[in-house]
Amino acid sequence: MNGIGRMNDYSGRIIYSGMKNEVLEIDSLDANKAVNNTRQIIGRIPGVNITETESGGFTANGISFRGLNPYQSIETNTRQNGYNISADVYGYNEAYYLPPMEAVKSITFLRDGAGLAYGPQLSGAVNYELKDGAPVPLEVTSSETAGSYGLFNSFNSIGGTEGDFRYYGFLQYRRIEGWRDNSQQTQWSGFTSLKYNPGEDLQLGLEYTILRNLIQMPGGLTDSLFNANPQQSLRTRNWLDSPWNILAAHADYKINDNASVSLVSSYLLSQRNLIWRNEDGGPGALDTIQADLQYTPRELEREYFRTFTNELRYLYNYNIAGMNQTFSSGIRGVYSHLTRLEGGEGTTGSSFDLTQLSAWGEDMDYYTTNIAPYIENIFRINNLFSITPALRFEYLHTTANGFAPNTVNDSNQPVVYAGNLKSSRTFLLGALSAQYKTSDEANFYANFSQSYRPITYDNLTPFGSLAKIDQNLKDASANTIDFGYRGISGNILNYDVSLYYMYIKNETGLLEEKNNNDSTYLFETNTGSDVHKGVEAYLELNIMDGIFKQNGWGKLSIYNSFAYSDARYVTGEYTGNRVEYAPEYINRCGLDYGLNGFSINAQYSYNASSFTDAANTVFSPDALVGIIPAYSIVDVSGSYSIKSYKLSFGVNNLTNAKYFTLRTDEYPGPGIIPSIGRMFYIGLSEKL
């Protein structure tokens, strides 16, 4: 079946028994992989909320679950081949790099704090598993895709096995002129891995990931501008690049038939660089020419990320009263250094130019040290029933040095952070999962888990100039309960239906306020506690080749991915209001058909409306807050394979719906960031 799969009780020294999880096999899906169309590729996962901002200046769409904020996947632990790929695991947990989907073998999703082996993030973990070298000396693939708005994507990979060595690498180039004015993008990404297997008991590996890109940012729009023409742009001089480098090494050792250990070390050395004229006057303000016939100087922002992570994991199978039990433990050590430079005067030009013409308005260094051991154990009571308790202990130490703008009042004097501004904290998180098998292919599962979102010094110095932050922000924490039933009925029905309840204490949100000169800004503060409760359901029915076998008409299946979320504040000033970026309904239904090398997928996606602030503002003249209207999208993708060739084709947003998924006070706005309209594509690939 082409839909969602699920993890075994454990894999790679990580336990999944009794936990809400899904796995997508990417090659089984017809979708626009040339532009990483998130809605198509992971839309089958129930409840995934997506910020579709490809045309706004983002390098990757953000995701979240269960009414949590999807912006840049800040609530989600984002990984590739098991290691972190976001900028900083705590201080700046944003995903600026995602691997191209042509290179991805599978994606694993783990909800909420259930995956304590990965970390404490409220929205859980997502792991992109890349393809590996083929079991032949040499395999080469090449794929070229063209499409609307100047899209050209070239993906090329090489891999194979020679003796004890297995290798794989890819190089991708993508360029698009952009659906909106002033939204061109160019991207190079690459990856190489080498694995050495001297015997069955030992595997060593080394990997390197690189991203180089340049994105023109068209800026945000007011509601009236969006309604008049969502493709327009009032910004021609805004640019971003985010060079990304990740070096990873791993060692896997099988101690004996019952025990194994692994070590993964990764070093992230990356940047985010902005040159823009974006904020003054709000999204409707024009970028005017001054009396000297020059544009106003742009603002320069530069950020440098350096993160070194080590994760050691151990798994041991043992017996109690004749029943096999599984113990897993590990420890993570992270050291991160973030340098943030903001407020420097840039050039008056229009091209990407990082020339600095004045001193910085902010110069901050953030240091984060994290040590986190965990333990988990599957206790199998009998062949049908098991329980899995888990504990994770976190030590977090942060330090801030430098100076930053005053975020408390309207003073023009920066706040100077002395070298002794430090914070240390420890916290203990627990989880308890249970699983009862009704057959080899189906089980009931239940889970209680705790998760945590610490406030770091990075949270206390806002990005840009239109935001202020409460200096007394408190850490957020959550308790979540899941209960569901999942399985496969023969080759006919694939299903997973569950209920969840999440209580979040000290939720962080945005409020629109005015300063002394009556100009508007957004204030980030603890807005209260909230409860998220709802239903997540996935059903896939295999009609031809399932219900009707050997019919000669090919394979036909239908699926429906549904989520209902009632997310509301239960304490504080906004009690009863809906939580920001929490649509009540998300539903995606689709059809898959295949016959003799031909396959096609059609998917309908619906997102209910949501708010962008705790006050549930419906409309604001500056468009920084307000409602995100409900929207419906239709995507159609197909392919035809003959021998070693494959022709791919499709259209995204078939009805050319006008919609958006994000309002922002700063990058890459401010204002509404429109999502892409109708887009056609066609591609040809060959495997040698």
| Per-residue pLDDT tens digits for 291-329 | 778 888 999 999 999 999 999 999 999 999 899 999 999
Domain ranges of the chain: 10-349+371-414+440-687
CB 134 within 8 A of CB 664: no
| Per-residue pLDDT tens digits for 491-548 | 899 999 999 999 999 988 777 777 666 666 677 788 889 999 999 999 999 998 878 8
Residue 348 in this model has a pLDDT that exceeds 70: yes
Report the mean per-residue pLDDT for the chain.
Answer: 90
| Per-residue pLDDT tens digits for 460-473 | 665 555 567 777 78
Residue 2 has a pLDDT of: 65
Mean pLDDT, range 189-196, rounded to an integer: 97
Residue 53 has a pLDDT of: 86
* Number of neighbouring beta carbons within 10 Å of residue 157: 23
Mean pLDDT, range 91-113, rounded to an integer: 87
Sorted by sequence, the CB contacts under 8 Å of residue 163 that are 6+ apart come out as none
Buried b (16+ CB within 10 A) or exposed e, 295-334: bebbbbbbbbbbbebbbbbbbbbeeeeeeeebbbbbebbb
Of 566, 498, 649, nearest to 18 by C-alpha is 498
| Per-residue pLDDT tens digits for 9-68 | 999 899 999 999 999 999 888 888 888 888 998 989 999 999 998 777 777 788 999 999
* Among 84-98, 364-378, 589-603, the least confident range: 84-98
Work out the pLDDT band at 260, boundaries 50, 70, 90.
Answer: very high
DSSP H or E segment with residue 374? strand 362-380
How far is 204 from 249, CA to CA, in rounded Å? 8
Residue 298 has a pLDDT of: 93
Quick check: helix, strand or coil at residue 319?
Answer: strand
Mean pLDDT, range 81-93, rounded to an integer: 86
Of 217, 192, 220, 216, nearest to 206 by C-alpha is 192
Q: Could you tell me how many residues make up the chain? A: 688
Say how many Å lie between the first and final Cα of the chain, rounded.
27
The arrangement of secondary structure in 10-349+371-414+440-687, i.e. its CATH architecture, is Beta Barrel (2.40)
* Sheet bearing 125-130, strands edge to edge: 21-25, 104-110, 125-130, 77-80, 83-84
| Per-residue pLDDT tens digits for 550-573 | 777 889 999 999 999 999 999 988
Quick check: helix, strand or coil at residue 291?
Answer: coil
- Tell me which DSSP letter residue 82 carries: T
The backbone region for 516, taken as left when phi is positive above 0, alpha when psi lies in -120 to 50, beta otherwise, is alpha
Mean pLDDT, range 377-382, rounded to an integer: 96
